[in-house]
């Protein structure tokens, strides 16, 4: 067996199941799960129709590189969304379809990390646990960059020693952040690319929450957008990951893409050819349609805004809460330990949230997820309102 499997931590939801074991919530209160970031909005009908129309594609093997139509739709979306120069993103050289960002974010570390050089993989803390698992199974040492409220929930890049950056081979970023909802500004991304050039590491930007944001006039900046402004037309050392799961409420489609540096895309394609992860043709056809439409995405954002408005009004004086700039999570402090809060909330209200410490690691005596919980506003509006009222009553 691969000995690195023993280095993996239990997955957050496995720990949550154990935490809730033996607890029986009130029979008269229906369950409201707000722990998993699984969108529950209705899938766009026109995407489902396209999926059905192309089901005959299951009779053929799909190419790992994907169809020209899908790569072209992604290139057009990136150009439109981030104001890139026409033709800057080449569908043939810069884009690779993937089966959702989770699969690709894990696999990219296996393809890019050089085990022979004492590798280090850096990531925000708290974090999406795939980053850590990817680093460990690639034979690298994870480096946890705290994202506390004092820095606006952004990593303090300049506090990291040069000796750490010199070992870094891959830096994961999440923009907007999971679980904090913090948006990485252009100045931060500029500094990241300066460090990547100086120390020769790859930046893997997880942008799967990029299309859920507060202000319709101020979408979060993207890594490719900043790279182009800095005069990096080839997106050197940059890889961005995005999917239709959050943007289009299609988590079960398992459809996304990775885009960026041609050299890295070519090597990742080689890895994926052997990995056997080509996207089915009917999924590619449906995805092509989804990337070409923005009306359903704007409607999706509006649904999340309505939920934030309603929930924050109910909980405003019950919990210390800030409206996040992006994503669909709340990240409040708790009056007791995050695990105690989660267990007691479930026991008394049948509302499930996720302890913040399940998403973080203690570093230098401080755990940035401790005494916080992640609340995913993915349920229908009426369920989110009911959950907020139960939480308010629970807090007295």
The fold adopted by the segment(s) 3-42+296-394 is: 3.90.1150
In total, the chain counts a number of residues equal to: 396
Supply the pLDDT for residue 67. Answer: 97
Among residues 393, 395, 291, 299, the alpha carbon closest in space to that of 29 is found at 393
**How would you label 208-243 residue by residue, b for 16+ Cβ within 10 Å and e otherwise?**
bbbbbbbeeeebbbbbbbbbbeeebebbbbbbbbbb
> Scanning the structure block, which residue is given the tokens 């499930």?
352
Q: Are 113 and 139 in contact (CB under 8 A)?
A: yes
Supply the pLDDT for residue 330. Answer: 98
Supply the pLDDT for residue 65. Answer: 96
Q: Are 383 and 306 in contact (CB under 8 A)?
A: no
Supply the pLDDT for residue 276. Answer: 80
Q: Tell me the domain boundaries of the chain.
A: 3-42+296-394, 56-293
Supply the pLDDT for residue 277. Answer: 84
Locate 283 and state its tokens.
Answer: 């999924």
Q: Are 64 and 277 in contact (CB under 8 A)?
A: yes
The pTM of the full predicted model, rounded to 2 decimals, is: 0.96
Question: CA-CA distances (angstroms) from residue 340 to 80, 152, 178, 354?
Answer: 46, 26, 22, 11
In this chain, the answer to whether the domains covering 3-42+296-394 and 56-293 adopt an identical fold is no
Indicate the Cα dihedral angle 158, 163, 165, 169, nearest 10°: -170
Question: How many Cα atoms occupy the beta-carbon half-sphere of 251 within 13 Å?
Answer: 11
Strand runs labelled E in the chain: 32-33, 95-98, 120-125, 141-146, 168-174, 202-206, 238-243, 256-260, 329-330, 351-352, 354-355, 373-376
DSSP β-ladder status, 354-355 and 373-376: antiparallel
What CATH number labels 56-293? 3.40.640.10
Q: Are 347 and 23 in contact (CB under 8 A)?
A: yes
pLDDT tens across the length of the chain (396 residues): 989 999 999 999 999 999 999 999 999 999 999 999 999 999 999 999 999 999 999 999 999 999 999 999 999 999 999 999 999 999 999 999 999 999 999 999 999 999 999 999 999 999 999 999 999 999 999 999 999 999 999 999 999 999 999 999 999 999 999 999 999 999 999 999 999 999 999 999 999 999 999 999 999 999 999 999 999 999 999 999 999 999 999 999 999 999 999 999 999 999 999 988 899 999 999 999 999 999 999 999 999 999 999 999 999 999 999 899 999 999 999 999 999 999 999 999 999 999 999 999 999 889 999 999 999 999 999 999 999 999 999 998
Measure the CA–CA gap between 307 and 328, rounded to whole angstroms. 9
Q: Are 300 and 212 in contact (CB under 8 A)?
A: yes
């Amino acid at each position: 067996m691969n000995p690195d499997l023993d280095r993996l931590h239990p997955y957050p939801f496995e720990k949550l199941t154990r935490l809730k074991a033996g607890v029986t919530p009130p029979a008269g209160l229906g369950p409201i799960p707000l722990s998993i970031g699984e969108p529950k909005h209705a899938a766009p009908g026109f995407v489902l129709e396209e999926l059905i129309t192309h089901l005959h594609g299951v009779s053929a093997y799909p190419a790992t590189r994907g169809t020209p139509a899908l790569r072209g739709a992604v290139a057009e979306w990136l150009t439109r969304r981030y104001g890139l120069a026409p033709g800057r993103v080449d569908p043939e050289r810069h884009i690779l379809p993937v089966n959702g960002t989770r699969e690709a974010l894990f696999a990219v570390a296996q393809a890019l990390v050089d085990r022979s050089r004492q590798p280090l993989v850096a990531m925000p803390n708290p974090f999406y646990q795939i980053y850590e698992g990817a680093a460990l199974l690639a034979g690298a040492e994870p480096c946890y960059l705290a994202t506390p409220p004092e820095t606006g929930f952004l990593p303090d890049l300049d506090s990291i020693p040069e000796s750490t950056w010199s070992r870094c081979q891959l830096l994961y970023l999440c923009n907007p952040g999971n679980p904090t909802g913090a948006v990485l500004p252009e100045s931060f991304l500029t500094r990241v690319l300066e460090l990547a050039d100086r120390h020769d590491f790859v930046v893997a930007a997880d942008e799967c929450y990029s299309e859920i944001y507060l202000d319709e006039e101020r979408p979060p900046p993207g890594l490719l957008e900043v790279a182009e402004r800095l005069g990096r037309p080839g997106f050197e050392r940059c890889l961005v990951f995005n999917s239709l799961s959050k943007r289009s409420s299609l988590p079960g489609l398992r459809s996304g893409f990775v885009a960026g540096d041609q050299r890295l895309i070519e090597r990742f394609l080689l890895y994926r050819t052997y990995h056997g992860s080509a996207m089915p043709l009917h999924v590619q056809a449906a995805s092509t349609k989804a990337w070409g439409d923005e009306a359903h995405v704007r409607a999706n954002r509006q649904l999340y805004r309505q939920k934030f408005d309603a929930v924050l009004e109910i909980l405003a004086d019950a919990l210390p809460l800030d409206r996040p700039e992006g994503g669909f999570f709340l990240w409040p402090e708790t009056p007791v330990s995050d695990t105690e809060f989660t267990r007691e909330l479930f026991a008394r209200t049948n509302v499930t949230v996720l302890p913040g410490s399940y998403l973080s690691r203690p570093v230098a005596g401080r755990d940035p997820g401790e005494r916080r919980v992640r609340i995913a506003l993915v349920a229908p509006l009426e369920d989110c309102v009911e959950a907020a009222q139960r939480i308010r009553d629970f807090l007295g």
